[in-house]
Structure 1
Amino acid sequence: MADNVVLRVERLGFAYPECAVLEDVSLAWPAGLALVQGDESSGKTTLLRLLAGELAPRSGEITLQGVRQRTDPAAYRAQVFWQDPRSTALDELTARQWLAGLPAQHARWDAAALAAHVEGFSLEPHLDKPFFALSTGSRRKVLMAGGLASGAALLLIDEPVAGLDKPSVNYLVQVLGRAAAHPARLVAVAHYEPLPGVAWGRTLTLARAR
């Protein structure tokens, strides 16, 4: 795109039946690394789910690489990688089975990158465990390894360091540092605060809706 914007959000609004969560959110993010930060119940995960196409906005428009989510949802979702780390949908699959199914879903899948992330996150001993048997940290590491290898134009990561051991946090910081320089991919991370050692290209701070 001429203005280098990968993801554009215009006046996005969303409310659950019991409360409003997001009001009039707008952003224009280029390739690289973006942080969505805020306190508990400020809407961080909700925003990621909206950007993934998992939730439908009440108002506003989301455009990824020129594709409007509202008018061409299938083409939009084909460019996104999102897995909710709290979901139980993958529980009966082993990590290896889930990872083996990803190349068919992502045209820019990078097998060499997956191998590097499996090593970097020390995942080899856990690949044949079902997701329900993985610790919180191991589950997140498997999901991030798959996402980072997917080649998706938009990679969404929610609370990446929950349950991670120190070496894995250090590896993640290195990986995010490399992602910051990617010319055609946006990695958007939701976290309570900036991660030490990570240079965020863009930051969106959400406040709890009143």
Structure 2
Amino acid sequence: MTEENERVCLQALGLALAPGAGCKLHGWNASFGPGLSLLLDEEGDGKTALLRVLAGELPPAAGELRWCGAALAEQLRRAPQTVFWRDPRAEWPEISPAQWAIELAARYPHWNAAQWQQLVQALALQEHLHKEMFRLSTGGKRKVLLAAALASGAPLTLIDEPEAALDRASIVALRAALAQQGQASQRVFIVGHYEVTPELPWSAVVSLR
């Protein structure tokens, strides 16, 4: 691992989640480096709650999160574009995928417009780009979210149940894109899912069961 790769790292130290989070963690320690890391758990809200904490969206009940050796909360105050995360179950505003892409390009300095367009093609989103998000199917919304996550260029990217509600062709395209990112990128990807996908080059598999 290169010196720069070592610098890009998320650490959880003595982490505990609030009661009712659906994920019973107490004194949890974990370290995530560049590439693809999997949070393995049953279907449900547990891994989603943990991803929200790892993204800085919710505070932990105890413990701390560090990014490149500094407090993650402080990093996000200075540079919120460090993290890409959106709960796929959250309500969408009246915005189209095309409008959202413009907003994300302004927010994330490493936004990859070419990759966004490639994923729009691969996930068959062309005809949906100018529809309001709430008008899309569950699978359509998730495909937009996945394309945005991969294209964001965010150093820390968190994805929850990436294959949920996707058709087979989209799953194949998504796995190819994730595999490419995991092998070639210095970004930290943390994926919450209920099973291991052996085709993907996981650098770590962390079971929450």
Matched, 1:83 2:86: yes
Instruction: Give, in whole Å, the separation in 2 of the partners of 1:130 and 1:140.
Output: 14
The answer (yes or no) to whether the contact 1:53–1:69 under 8 Å persists in 2 is: yes
Change in Cα spacing, 1:161 to 1:17, as seen in structure 2 (3 Å) is: closer
> Alignment identity in percent?
38
Deviation per residue, 1:153-197 (Å, 9 max, x gap) = 011110111110111000111011112213420111101011242
How far 1:30 moved relative to its partner?
1.3
SS at match of 1:21: coil
SS at match of 2:58: coil
Write out aligned runs for 1:144-163 (5 A): 144-163=146-165
Structure 2-normalised TM-score? 0.90
Instruction: Give, in whole Å, the separation in 1 of the partners of 2:22 and 2:191.
Output: 24
The answer (yes or no) to whether the contact 1:64–1:76 under 8 Å persists in 2 is: no
What amino acid sits opposite 1:52 in the alignment? Answer: A
Write out aligned runs for 1:27-42 (5 A): 27-41=30-44
Instruction: Give, in whole Å, the separation in 1 of the partners of 2:22 and 2:178.
Output: 34
Q: State how many pairs are aligned.
A: 206
Structure 1-normalised TM-score? 0.90
Q: Which blocks of at least 5 consecutive residues in structure 1 are unaligned?
A: none
How far 1:73 moved relative to its partner?
3.5
How far 1:22 moved relative to its partner?
2.3
SS at match of 1:168: helix
Matched, 1:9 2:9: no
Q: Give 1:92's match in structure 2, choosing from 91, 94, 113.
A: 94
How far 1:41 moved relative to its partner?
4.3
Deviation per residue, 1:6-55 (Å, 9 max, x gap) = 11111111113587732222111210000001114472101110011110
Matched, 1:187 2:166: no
SS at match of 2:27: strand
Q: Give 1:112's match in structure 2, choosing from 108, 111, 114.
A: 114
Change in Cα spacing, 1:128 to 1:39, as seen in structure 2 (3 Å) is: same
Matched, 1:24 2:35: no
SS at match of 1:12: strand
Query: Partner of 1:62 in structure 2?
Result: 65
Deviates more, 1:152-161 or 1:9-18: 9-18
| Alignment RMSD | 2.0
Q: Give 1:47's match in structure 2, choosing from 47, 50, 57.
A: 50
Q: Which blocks of at least 5 consecutive residues in structure 2 are unaligned?
A: none
The answer (yes or no) to whether the contact 1:137–1:163 under 8 Å persists in 2 is: yes
